[in-house]
Amino acid sequence: MHPYNLGLLMAGRPRVLPSTVGSVWEILQFIGVPLTGKRAVIIGRSLVVGKPLAMLLLQKGIDATVTVCHSKTEQLTEITHEADILIVAAGKPHLIGKKHVKRGTIVIDVGINVVAGKLVGDVKFDEVYQLASYITPVPGGVGKVTTHYLMYNLVKSYEHRR
């Protein structure tokens, strides 16, 4: 998340991705669905997740069509309904339900919230998984991969040290 690394990402020469962004990218790679021309909708515009993820998916060679939503976005349901890939990083428990998702969408839930002592995501998993072609759970989804990506970044950064 250092401005230097974010600058490289912005310039189309990503080197060290923010760990959560790297995690989402690894999950998309694992799924293996081509992203070219696909409509990716990201909910959240933080420097940790939303903005750098949007930059990544916009890169030439990845070529998704990216929409970024935030707390002032109007008609969120209509926008998310157009998504081929919906990535939710709002930090609002169960913000996204079946009315937001068309059949076949890839849904990646970045959110981590504690409700009544339990970890829950931003997506109503039980509703949405029936529609989604792929969906990540919380816990056990993006967060788990992020932990590994953090270690990957640590080793990579060590190797790139001057």
Ligand X SMILES: NC(=O)c1ccc[n+]([C@@H]2O[C@H](COP(=O)([O-])OP(=O)(O)OC[C@H]3O[C@@H](n4cnc5c(N)ncnc54)[C@H](OP(=O)(O)O)[C@@H]3O)[C@@H](O)[C@H]2O)c1
Give the binding range for ligand X (CB under 6 A) out of 1-9, 39-47, 54-62, 79-87. Answer: 39-47
Is the Cβ of residue 35 or residue 68 nearer to ligand X in the bound state?
68
CA 154, CA 162: separation in Å to the nearest integer? 14
Q: Name the burial class of residue 161, with classes exposed (0-12), middle (13-18) and buried (19+) by CB atoms within 10 angstroms of its CB.
A: exposed
Single out the residue of 90, 106, 120, 123 in contact with ligand X (rule: CB under 6 A).
90
- Indicate whether 135 belongs to the interface with ligand X (CB under 6 A): no
- The DSSP bridge partners found for residue 39 are 65
Query: Residue type for 84, please?
Result: D
Query: Residue type for 65, please?
Result: T
- Indicate whether 44 belongs to the interface with ligand X (CB under 6 A): yes
Where do contacts with ligand X occur on this chain (CB under 6 A)?
20, 23, 43-46, 48-50, 69-73, 76, 89-92, 95, 110-113, 142-143, 146
